[in-house]
Structure 1
Amino acid sequence: MKIDARLDTSLTAVAGDVRAIEEIGFDGAWNTENRADPFLSLTLACEHSTRIAVGPSVAIAFARTPMTVAYPSWDLQRFSEGRLILGLGSQIRPHVAKRFSMPWSEPADRMREFVLALRAIWHTWSTGDRLEHRGRFYEHSLMAPAFTPATNPYGPPPVFLAAVGPRMLQVAAEEADGLFVHPFCTETYLRDVIVPEVTAHRPADAAPLQIALSPFVALDESDVEAVRRQISFYGSTPAYRRVLELHGQGDLQTELHRMSKEGRWDEMPALVDDELLHAMCAVGSPDEAARSLRQRYGGVADRLRLNRPGDAPPPPQHFAELVDALRR
């Protein structure tokens, strides 16, 4: 099981953070597209690291086209000497339509075609074959030599998809190399819902789907409060209701959603009880958190990104003892 770090998108922090991430012994570093373009900071991460995997977890696919994703990911894969993992997610309709002003429809089908188009573009760049993708959502049928990037000896990067609902999980199982599981998840939901879903749809001739988790970790009381706040934020979103319903807390989603519409964000964390907190978060000393993570996700997860939510992630050193404990 690989152990990964969250990488800040701040351009002034990336170089120092990614060097520390390597020194501590992490296997990878992932940033998130919230307040900045993820590919900019990943360029610096590639430049200032030599060993770890790097990538976005996730870049918003529907804010772009397959071609506008193909170019930076191809360049980063070459620049990093094959260390990029491209993580893509759909986001939800309001953000795609109202924030990015991009089309939204049939997200699972659109994501499937997005990945197929992306692979078609990379195939053309790798082989020189004619570019000929004509689908329902995207057409890519023009690639002149003047616009073809330099040869990439490392090949295209693997593609991981973020998925929550059954249809997107099916797309991830059928088309992607890996799955980014949403942080709003419990061991029960992972083992009883996600794993059976992707196992049922993984092609028999495909390599095993890599499962990458981003579990909440709280090593002190400030971490606990940050996690409680994040759970209340995610819990207000209808798309994540299934997780709460599995634990008999479907009504909590209704209440959190109502409060979010009223702008009562600061009151919402109090509704997240300790039972739900501990179901989603490894809490305690580094040794205790390490045991909890191993017990919950050992044998299921291929990668763990240690997740302490907040506007800015803590420095990588915050998790140094936990990384040592996980290694032991």
Structure 2
Amino acid sequence: MIDIGRVGLWTGILDAHPTSRTQEVAVELEAMGWPTLWRPETSGRDAFVSCAHLLDATTTLNVATGIAQMHARHAVTTRNGQRTLHEASGGRFLLGLGVSHGPFIEAVRKVEYSKPYSEMVAYLDQMLQAPFHAVGADDEPPTVLAALGPKMLQLAADQVQGAHPYFSPVEHTAFARETMGDGPLLAPEQMVVIDDDRARATETALRHMKRYLQLPNYTNNLKRFGFTDDDISTPSERLIDAIVVRGSIDDVVARVGEHHDAGADHVCIQVLRPDLEFPMQEWRDLADAFALT
């Protein structure tokens, strides 16, 4: 199983920059000591191709999809793309796979989104049976699922190597660990705004939270942990605090520790900014705080 470390970085802004610049940034992150970089897939660059460029530019950095959309590729294509990157990178690629969200899949992919759990079960079975007539690695590449609810978390524990929850509070991390049991990888994402101006940090947090609070998969999960429609429709302080750390580097370190205490093996830190520039200074400061070098 790939060793992705206790902390990593998650960023959704790679596609806002030229590929050559993302490769330069990956090299800088590797030099800072970051073990793993996560990237999403929506309607930007192909996640597998982008990961290939990042892996080619580096030598020790692990690259993970958080997540590659199941509906974007046939299961055989996904499995063999995963095998290709696993072999080519020397085992530094981690496939995070998910069903995404109905509004995205139906509007962009023009595919019906009705039974995501059953479709994922069938998809994983097809991946398992995928033929591969090429030189591969001696071992099989790892997979984690975007999982929030108990059924998908159990599937992540039983059929793949673990789970990558997104937009979830620390309470969910404890719930996920209890559901999956010991052993499977648990790698939740954590949004942070490193800013000592509380009002400005809140504005940045809300800007990024807004679209996720319109997606039923996330809002239903929040309701499992006591958040109400009122908390969600006009985000309450309690909800903002649960999803986004607003404050100092020490505040981020403390929240990451809470996730670890709740059962996380790895925490993917997403540094939010009011613009689309890479948060290089924040990433350096966090690397120092976690003593990565």
* TMscore range, shorter length: 0.7 to 0.9
After TM superposition, the score normalised by the length of structure 2 is 0.85
Q: 1:165-244 alignment to 2 at 5 Å?
A: 165-182=149-166, 184-191=167-174, 193-199=175-181, 208-220=183-195, 221=197, 222-244=200-222
AA matched with 1:194: A
Distance change (3 Å), C-alpha of 1:299 and 1:170? closer
Distance 1:164 1:313 in 2: 30
Distance change (3 Å), C-alpha of 1:292 and 1:166? closer
Distance 2:111 2:153 in 1: 23
Distance 1:69 1:279 in 2: 34
Distance 2:225 2:136 in 1: 47
**Is the partner of 1:327 in helix, strand or coil?**
coil
Distance change (3 Å), C-alpha of 1:94 and 1:241? closer
Query: 2:261 aligned with 1:298, yes or no?
Result: yes
AA matched with 1:159: T
Whether contact under 8 Å (1:6, 1:313) holds in the other structure is no
Distance 1:30 1:296 in 2: 18
Whether contact under 8 Å (1:82, 1:154) holds in the other structure is no
Distance 1:275 1:116 in 2: 40
What is the deviation of 1:82? Answer: 1.1
Distance change (3 Å), C-alpha of 1:286 and 1:72? same
Query: 2:147 aligned with 1:116, yes or no?
Result: no
Distance change (3 Å), C-alpha of 1:26 and 1:103? same
Q: 1:127-166 alignment to 2 at 5 Å?
A: 148=133, 150-166=134-150
Query: 2:9 aligned with 1:5, yes or no?
Result: yes
**Is the partner of 2:87 in helix, strand or coil?**
helix
Distance 1:296 1:212 in 2: 9
AA matched with 2:246: V
Give aligned-pair identity as a percent. Answer: 23
Segment of structure 1 superposing worse, 48-57 or 70-79: 70-79
Structure 1's unaligned 5+ residue stretches are 126-147, 200-206, 257-270
What is the deviation of 1:309? Answer: 4.0
AA matched with 1:88: L
Whether contact under 8 Å (1:77, 1:154) holds in the other structure is no
Whether contact under 8 Å (1:227, 1:308) holds in the other structure is no
**Is the partner of 2:60 in helix, strand or coil?**
coil
**Is the partner of 2:20 in helix, strand or coil?**
coil
What do you get for the CA RMSD once the two structures are aligned? 2.4
After TM superposition, the score normalised by the length of structure 1 is 0.77
Whether contact under 8 Å (2:271, 2:282) holds in the other structure is no
- What is the match of residue 37 of structure 2? 29
What is the deviation of 1:161? Answer: 0.5
Distance 2:256 2:60 in 1: 24
AA matched with 2:208: Q
**Is the partner of 1:306 in helix, strand or coil?**
strand
**Is the partner of 1:298 in helix, strand or coil?**
helix
Distance 2:261 2:62 in 1: 20
Distance 2:93 2:220 in 1: 32
Query: 2:143 aligned with 1:95, yes or no?
Result: no
Distance change (3 Å), C-alpha of 1:151 and 1:63? same
What is the deviation of 1:313? Answer: 6.2
What is the deviation of 1:164? Answer: 1.8
What is the deviation of 1:247? Answer: 5.0
- What is the match of residue 132 of structure 1? none
What is the deviation of 1:214? Answer: 0.9
Structure 2's unaligned 5+ residue stretches are none
